Amino acid sequence: MRASICTQYGHLPVYRRKSGAENLTTISWIQLSMINTALCKILKPPVFGMFLLFVLLATASLSVAKERVGPITAEPTGQFRPGKVIWVDLVTDDVRRASDFYRQVFGWAVRLSEDGSYAEAGYRGRPVAAFARYEYDAPDDEAQWVISISVPDVDAAAAAVRNHGGEVLEGPENLKDRGRYVLVNDSRGAVLMFLEASGGDPLDEAAVANEWLWAELWTDDPAAAVAFYESVVGYKTVAARETDGGELRVMGRDGVARATVVKSPWPEVTPNWLPYLLVDDLAGTIDAIEANDGEVLVPPSAAGDGDAAIVADPTGGVFALQQREGQL
């Protein structure tokens, strides 16, 4: 399905539909026309808008937890991969409930702070995510996953954000053991962080089930969004058209694809980054999600190859599932 992208971009292991280490991330294009409108509501930012963005991770629990925030890798790598999505944080109104959900469904080991305001999750001995509670009252089910993209110079990235139509919400600032970060809105309003990790970035390795696989930006103006990320991150972009007619853009750097950009069908919804989790058994994972009070927003039958779905945890955090090729 992605062969044309490999041909245009060069070596993009992320799109080679093969087994082995080169198959870092094989995502399925979600057919937007088939997505339930319930997703529109859940992807919409909380009603207090910018207030949420300001308290996401910088002034929410991380302000209390700066001394306990851990690194993004189990061991320092000393290597940096600019443009790579290297971390994800869930900001939620109920850290304990979110922790229980991801522990039960995906087998993550979660270390919860004593006051329940912050947690770090790992899998197979490797860090996979952090959960932080809103510092101020927020509506129920308004959780949001926030990705972090590796940059070599956070301060330069912050300046580039301002110069190319984005907005700096918090930072640049240092977090002990985590690194130097800046929380921003891109030029179309999507929230993310740019991070210079203290110990280096995670290696480019084949993803395993129950770990993050990919990230996709849903935006109202893909061309403008791509221009922003090319200017700030240094991406090069390939446009491609799927067999079903859908269009997407693949952003990459140094010969490796790092993220896709697609047009959201809802112009009234603020753009969002959608992270993907790899699973071995999509049907079984969906059963587990529903058994643990999660919600299936887009079932597999509505997703391109039938091997992907979009779901939400019980606190409202939206993410996608991608099954290994040949397992469905």
* Mean pLDDT of the chain, nearest integer: 80
Give Cβ neighbours of residue 137 (< 8 Å, ≥ 6 apart): none
Min mean pLDDT across 89-98, 139-148, 231-240, 301-310 is at 301-310
Q: Which pLDDT belongs to residue 122?
A: 97
Instruction: Return the exposure string of 121-143: e unless at least 16 CB atoms fall within 10 Å of the residue's CB, then b.
Output: bebeeebbbbbbbbbeebeebbb
Let me know: does 141 contact 42? Beta carbons within 8 Å.
yes
Let me know: does 62 contact 70? Beta carbons within 8 Å.
no
Identify the bridge partners of residue 263 per DSSP, sorted by sequence position.
Answer: 219
Q: Which pLDDT belongs to residue 309?
A: 94
> pLDDT-derived band of residue 266, with 50, 70 and 90 as boundaries?
confident
**How many C-beta atoms surround the C-beta of residue 37 within 10 A?**
9
According to CATH, the superfamily of the domain at 50-197 is 2,3-Dihydroxybiphenyl 1,2-Dioxygenase, domain 1 (3.10.180.10)
Identify the bridge partners of residue 274 per DSSP, sorted by sequence position.
Answer: 216
Mean pLDDT for the stretch of residues 241-266: 87
pTM of structure: 0.82
To the question of domain 3-44+209-323 being in CATH 3.10.180.10, the answer is yes
Which one is predicted more confidently, 263 or 51?
263
Let me know: does 212 contact 105? Beta carbons within 8 Å.
no
Mean pLDDT for the stretch of residues 280-305: 88
Q: Which pLDDT belongs to residue 176?
A: 87
CA distance 106 to 123: 9
Domains 3-44+209-323 and 50-197 fall in the same CATH topology: yes
Asked if the model's pLDDT at residue 152 lies above 50, the reply is: yes
- The domains of the chain are located at 3-44+209-323, 50-197
> pLDDT-derived band of residue 301, with 50, 70 and 90 as boundaries?
low
Q: Which pLDDT belongs to residue 267?
A: 78
Mean pLDDT for the stretch of residues 36-61: 38
Mean pLDDT for the stretch of residues 270-289: 95
Q: Which pLDDT belongs to residue 269?
A: 79
Let me know: does 87 contact 147? Beta carbons within 8 Å.
yes
